Each structure stands twice: as C-alpha cells, then as structure tokens.
C-alpha cells in the first residue's frame, strides 16, 4: 500500500512539474515587434580620432590646421524601407567638446524589418531653421544673424592654421544665407540594417578633412576667417559635405 501511495505521489509531482513547464513556455515573452535606435557620433581626420587644439592636420589646399570647435545640427533622419520609410522628425545638436551630445537616442520606436539605408539633413530644414525655435543654450547659441536671414548655424567649425609661418584663425560657419538654404541631404552608403527585436546602435563618423576636398578644394587663405556672408563658400561646403559622414557599424 505504501508503495502505491508513494508511486501516486511521485506521479502527482511529475504531473505538476509538467504543467508548470507548459505554463512557463506559454508565458515566455514574445520577440518585441519594434526597437529603439541609438546614434553615436565620432569625428576623425582621415580615419584617426581628432586631437583638438593642435596644428597638425593638412588639407587638400595645403593648409596646416587645428580644430578648436565643432558644433552642428542634424535633423530629419529617414530610415528607408521602400514605401514604409520611417522619419524621425527631430533635430539633434552635436558639440565635439560635449560628450553628452555625442549620443542621440530618439524616443520613436522602429518597426522590425529590413531597411535599405539611412539618410538625414545636415543642418536644419526650413521648418526648424527659424529664429527663436530654440530658446535654451547650447542650441540657442547657434543663432544665425537676423540681417543674414536669421535661423541657426548649420555648423560652426573653428580653429587655427599656419599661413606662411603666420598663425591665423579660420571660421567655417555654414547656414542659410539671405533666405537661400544650404543644408545638406546626406545619404549614408553601407547603412543597410535589419531590426529584429533588439535595440541597435548606429555609429556615425565625420571625416572633417572631407569638408575641404571633394569636389571642391577649400582654401583657408581664400575664404579666411569670415565666410558667413559668402554665398560661394556656402555652396562649396554644401557640395563637399555630401560624403563627410560614414557608418562604421550598426549593431
């Protein structure tokens, strides 16, 4: 009799465990149907991380130069997926000296699936490039002079360069000039990715030297330390800026 009772008890325990396992499997969380993307910005000179405040870099025009400040906006990130492309309709400010700005984590969820490539606007489009759109620093400190059309700088890139042994300042300040926009549509090659329930990080690198070399040679001796009101300089940088960014990884 005791053996029967023991066998029944063991059978009961095994049955309970099997039922519990089935319930546990049934309650296992499903794969999330959407993810978050994080963008991480880095800045290089031809592949090497930037060293600030040191005159050591050589551009195509033969200018030996340093980088002191680099600040800019990007906006309107588009994740291209045929007719189902996703637009992150926001603006992000980057300052090479402020680590907090080098990471951008939009709150918008991204649906699972395969995406062809990523694009964005370097600078600000017309809807965002309006005076007083930003009321707090540091973004508000990027204001573009109202007599030149108002709005905000797309970029402030500043440093020093050696001009025939005389050290001079250069200021590469881009923006809309007298109502003419010079923002840059950037389409990132090699930015195909697949969202499959796990958050992803997009690592973006700006090669600063590319601002000065393709398709136009930008010479600090020609454009000097004040190019904001120079529409030719704005056009040159707009054309050169199309390929300054690359994607090092998405994972």
Q: What DSSP string runs through 32-56?
A: PSEE-EEEEEEEEETTEEP-TT---
Tens digits of residue pLDDT in 129-144: 999 999 999 999 999 9
Token look-up 């690198």 returns 205
pLDDT of residue 32: 80
Q: How confident is the model at residue 14 (pLDDT cuts 50, 70, 90)?
A: very low
| Number of helices and strands in the chain (H, E) | 3, 17
**Cross-strand partners of 171:** 158
CA distance 89 to 120: 10
pLDDT, the chain, mean: 90
pLDDT at 199 over 60: yes
pLDDT at 5 over 50: no
Q: How confident is the model at residue 29 (pLDDT cuts 50, 70, 90)?
A: low
**Cross-strand partners of 159:** 170
- What is the pTM (predicted TM-score) of this model? 0.86
pLDDT of residue 197: 94
pLDDT at 180 over 90: yes
Tens digits of residue pLDDT in 67-94: 999 999 999 999 999 888 999 999 999 9
Dihedral (CA of 120, 121, 124, 125) sign:
negative
**Average pLDDT value for residue range 178-198:** 95
**Average pLDDT value for residue range 222-231:** 90
pLDDT of residue 151: 96
Three-class HEC string of 124-141? CCCCCCCCCCCCCCCHHH
pLDDT of residue 30: 67
State what percent of residues in the chain have pLDDT above 90.
Answer: 82
Helix (H) or strand (E) holding 8: helix 2-26
């Amino acid at each position: 009799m005791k053996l029967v009772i023991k066998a029944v008890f063991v059978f009961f325990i095994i049955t309970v465990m099997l039922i519990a396992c089935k319930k546990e499997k049934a309650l296992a969380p499903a794969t999330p149907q959407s993810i978050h993307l994080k963008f991480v910005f880095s800045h290089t000179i031809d592949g090497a991380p930037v060293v600030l405040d040191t005159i050591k870099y050589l551009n195509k025009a033969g200018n030996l130069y340093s980088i002191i400040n680099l600040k800019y906006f990007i906006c309107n990130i588009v994740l291209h997926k045929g007719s189902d492309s996703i637009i992150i309709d926001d603006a992000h400010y980057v300052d090479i000296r402020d680590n907090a700005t080098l990471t951008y984590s939009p709150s918008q969820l991204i649906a699972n699936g395969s995406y062809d490539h990523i694009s964005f606007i370097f600078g600000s489009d017309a809807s965002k490039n309006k005076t007083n759109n930003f009321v707090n620093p540091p973004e508000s400190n990027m204001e573009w002079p109202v007599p030149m059309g108002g709005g905000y700088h797309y970029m402030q890139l500043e440093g020093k360069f050696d001009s025939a042994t005389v050290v001079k300042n250069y200021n590469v300040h881009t923006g809309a000039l007298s109502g003419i926009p010079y923002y840059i549509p950037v389409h990132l090659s090699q930015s195909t990715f697949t969202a499959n329930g796990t958050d992803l990080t997009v690592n973006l690198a700006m090669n600063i030297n590319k601002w000065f070399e393709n398709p136009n040679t930008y010479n600090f001796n020609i454009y000097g330390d004040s190019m904001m009101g120079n529409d030719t300089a704005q056009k040159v940088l707009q054309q050169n800026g199309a390929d300054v960014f690359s994607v090092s990884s998405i994972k």
